Amino acid sequence: MVKLGYNILDEKGMKGMENEVILYHGSKEIVELPEIRIQRYNKDFYFGFYCTMFKEQARRWATRFDGLGYLSEYRYTPDDTLNIKKFPVMCEEWLDFIVACRIGKPHEYDIVEGPMADDTIFNYVQNFVDGKISREAFWALAKFKKPTHQISFHTARALATLHFLQGSEVRDEE
């Protein structure tokens, strides 16, 4: 079994996520009341409200189109009664799950957490889906990517675990 990356559950004191955690969402507006929107394209973990524990990653999400965006900050309180899927690292199961979600297959989870298939990784995923590269070639290409994190909320019960703290304007640092 191939495992790449690092254990997201050990980052920033999140082991087990027993306690409240600060998460960030980057977009074109401050989002005080998160909601699940059906988008034109399927995302890594299907349709949902996406956050990250990495503030700089959320900043990149917010500023990716024109250099100006907004960072929303939330307190996340885990709820053990929810159906949660966690991928601590990029692995075979993670790859298969992302492929299924990206081609439009829904799942039954309230929350999904794991590494993100950024644009480069997604191109590798698409090449794998299209049969242009083998599974082995995917892993050879993916191993050089820096760590990323995403947590997606897919139900109203999942969104209830988020409490808005603040929002701020952010600019691309280039």
Digitized pLDDT (tens) for each residue of the chain, 174 residues in all: 333 333 334 443 344 445 789 999 999 999 999 999 887 777 889 999 999 999 999 999 999 989 999 999 999 999 999 999 999 988 999 999 998 998 889 999 999 999 987 767 778 888 998 999 999 999 888 876 677 899 999 999 999 999 999 999 999 875
Residue 6: the pLDDT is 32
- CA dist 82 and 48 (Å) reads 15
pLDDT at 144: 66
Q: Which residue has the tokens 């349709």?
A: 47
- The reported pLDDT for the residue numbered 16 is 41
pLDDT of residue 9: 40
The confidence score (pLDDT) of residue 174 equals: 56
pLDDT value for 102: 84
Domain count, the chain: 1
Q: What is the C-alpha separation between 86 and 174, in angstroms, rounded?
A: 33
Q: Which residues, including other chains, have CB under 8 Å from residue 121's CB and lie 6 or more apart?
A: 142, 145
* Residue 31 confidence (pLDDT): 97
- Please state the separation of Cα 55 from the chain's center in Å: 13
- What is the pLDDT, as a whole number, of residue 3? 34
99 Cβ neighbours under 8 A, 6+ residues apart? 125, 128, 129
Cα–Cα distances (Å) from 114 to 30, 65, 129, 149, in that order, read 24, 24, 20, 6
**CATH number, position 123:** 3.90.228
Residue range(s) defining the domain that contains residue 156: 3-171
H/E run at residue 47:
none
Cα of first residue to Cα of last residue in the chain, in angstroms, is: 39
